[in-house]
Amino acid sequence: MERPGWATFIGIFMLFVAGCGALDNFSDLNADQILQVQSEVLDEMENEFEGQDADTIRIDSATQKRLTVFGDSIVKDSANNVDVKETFKNMIKISDYRIKWTKNFAYIGFVICILFAISGIFFLSQRRYTIQLALSVLASSLVVGVFQFIVFRADTGSSKMISNLANFEVYWSIFLDTILLITLMVLDKSYYYGSESVEDYYDNE
């Protein structure tokens, strides 16, 4: 029986996700270096403003509305001028809590990536337990994603911009896992059970 096209696609896609996820997790392991980069950027800004009379700018109402995307990151004085240095500092602020959990989830992520890679390889070969493994891996990844969402929702020390960017990655992971789970549940998986139908396979267990 010839391997269906969807199986090849999902196998390659899971290998791709595993590779990209591993690179992302490797980057997350160095999350504490973000603080060092922040310090260097702020030092450069300090040098840029050194010798200037003011480090604030006046903005109109239209610009203020556009800046609301940063939430409480915008710092203004009594004259409604934006303090550029303090605003930028707030925009890139990341809490120790988020850094700690980002590194913790990176280790978990490496395990998920390995399982994704194994599952992808299984899809490219006719293994009876391919579907069960894939469903288990996707379900585990989904649970981790939901747990990440709950943990990072408790982070009140990071800026809104940092939180939104990080949360988007979590949302995307949950969405992707859900779509793949639903897809695997509705597709014809008889190829991985040899000549038996899915119903016959479970009846013989």
CB-CB contact of 47 with 118 (8 Å): no
* E strands present in 3-151: 56-58, 81-83
Q: To which residue do tokens 């809104």 refer? A: 160
The predicted pLDDT at position 105 comes to 93
- pLDDT value of residue 195: 44
What is the pLDDT confidence band of residue 160, given thresholds at 50, 70 and 90? Answer: confident
Q: Per-residue pLDDT tens for 22-42?
A: 999 998 888 777 767 766 766
Separate counts of helices (H) and strands (E) for the chain? 8, 2
Task: Give the count of beta carbons closer than 10 Å to the beta carbon of residue 188.
Answer: 9
Radius of gyration of the chain, Cα coordinates, nearest whole angstrom:
24
What are the distances in angstroms from CA 26 to CA 83, 103, 174, 190?
Answer: 35, 9, 20, 37
Tell me which amino acid residue 154 is.
Answer: A
How far is the C-alpha of 41 from the C-alpha of 167, rounded, in Å? 24
